Amino acid sequence: MSQIETFYDVMRRQGITRRSFMKYCSLTAAALGLSPSFVPKIAHAMETKPRTPVIWVHGLECTCCSESFIRSAHPLAKDVVLSMISLDYDDTLMAAAGHQAEAALEETIEKYKGNYILAVEGNPPLNEDGMFCIIGGKPFVEQLRHAAEHAKAIISWGACASYGCVQAAKPNPTQATPVHKVITDKPIIKVPGCPPIAEVMTGVITYMLTFDRLPELDRQGRPAMFYGQRIHDKCYRRPHFDAGQFVEAWDDENARKGYCLYKMGCKGPTTYNACSTIRWNEGTSFPIQSGHGCIGCSEDGFWDQGSFYNRVTDLTQFGVEANADKVGMAAAGVVGAGVAAHAAISALKAAQKKTQSHKEEA
């Protein structure tokens, strides 16, 4: 094999100075929430590593994950694809088709046994012997199992691969099944969301390349660095929640003032994701900022939790709704009740999580 080019080589060749390269490394560190002491480590990794082969397969999906991925601003998608990884199979973007595409898959598996990353977008349907999703005349689930066998690790992109998403919503007619229910002997990193945030996707890949290990995962298998906190915890409208200032109807005066969307069904209080911090499309905005509540798209089974416009409290026996209403009617500044309401929601979420993990174990 001819000499493999490292990420640093690529940057230097493009006329990027050592100084700019180091700046890039600091930005990467900052984007990942790492301290400056990590910068030399990142630089070292990028100077010495060849591009890691990635096989990206597609099951039942809508391709929003791929679309999100190419929106990444730091790093740019083109730099990821040209300089950081070697995307050896991806039916959405690759030049070859048919036999030549299948050959590319086989060659990559053979050549890099145990050393490639398998990225899965979408999920396999198990009904009809798997033939609700056909690749090369065979069920997709076969391709998935085959590619997983020698993978170093698997990334489950988005809500489909992580949890099932829309095609798995009741009654799940195709028996669309998340990846971890089919592949049980490999490390799997779930990157949920419909789709996940672009920079979270590239952040997960960059982390693995840089530190040569999987990111720390929470009990559901999500990278803790991006999914460790609720949208509500870091929402810039949070002070309005605490102050009891809520939007009461679409386009009312409170909506125009940017008050809290909790009463309009916002799922921010029960959704673990980085939307309110990293935001979307190069930090341009996120759902709550644009005026619509969060629909909770990175949570397991979010399609089957009632209407997106129901308050999250509808799901529970807690008295949160009554509290929030009282607060809304009272003069702004009754902070105490708002905080109490919030504490109740936190308790609710903890209870939900318990039920969820209980279900998973079952």
Which of the residues 174 through 203 are near other proteins (CB under 8 A)? 174-176, 194-195, 198
Interaction with other proteins in 3-42: which residues (CB under 8 A)? 3-5, 9-10, 13-15
d(C-alpha 265, C-alpha 309), whole Å: 4
One residue of 19, 37, 170, 184 binding other proteins per CB under 8 A:
170
d(C-alpha 8, C-alpha 360), whole Å: 43
- Within 10 Å of residue 160's Cβ, how many Cβ atoms? 30
d(C-alpha 63, C-alpha 58), whole Å: 8
One residue of 19, 37, 110, 137 binding other proteins per CB under 8 A:
137
Q: How far is the CB of 226 from other proteins (least distance, A)?
A: 15
Q: Which residue stretch of 38-46, 246-254, 317-325, 342-350 sits at the interface with other proteins (rule: CB under 8 A)?
A: 246-254
DSSP 283-345: TTB-HHHHTS----TTSTTGGGSS-TTS-GGGGSSSSHHHHHHHHHHSPTT-HHHHHHHHHHH
Rounded to 5 degrees, what angle do the CA atoms 131, 139, 155 make? 120
One residue of 32, 43, 55, 72 binding other proteins per CB under 8 A:
72
Given the complex with other proteins, which of 221 and 291 has the nearer CB atom? 291
One residue of 22, 30, 62, 217 binding other proteins per CB under 8 A:
62
One residue of 2, 35, 37, 317 binding other proteins per CB under 8 A:
2
Is 294 labelled as part of a ligand binding site? yes
Is 65 labelled as part of a ligand binding site? yes
The tally of CA atoms less than 13 A away on the side-chain side of residue 269 is: 27
Cis peptide before 195 (omega within 30 of 0): yes
Interaction with other proteins in 91-130: which residues (CB under 8 A)? 91-104, 107, 125-130
Given the complex with other proteins, which of 257 and 354 has the nearer CB atom? 257
Q: Is position 328 an interface residue for other proteins (rule: CB under 8 A)?
A: no
Residue 89 forms beta bridges with which residues?
A: 55
Task: Pull the structure tokens for residue 142.
Answer: 């076969």
| Residues placed in the known binding site for [3Fe-4S] cluster | 275, 294, 297
| Residues placed in the known binding site | 62, 65, 160, 194, 232, 235, 260, 266, 275, 294, 297
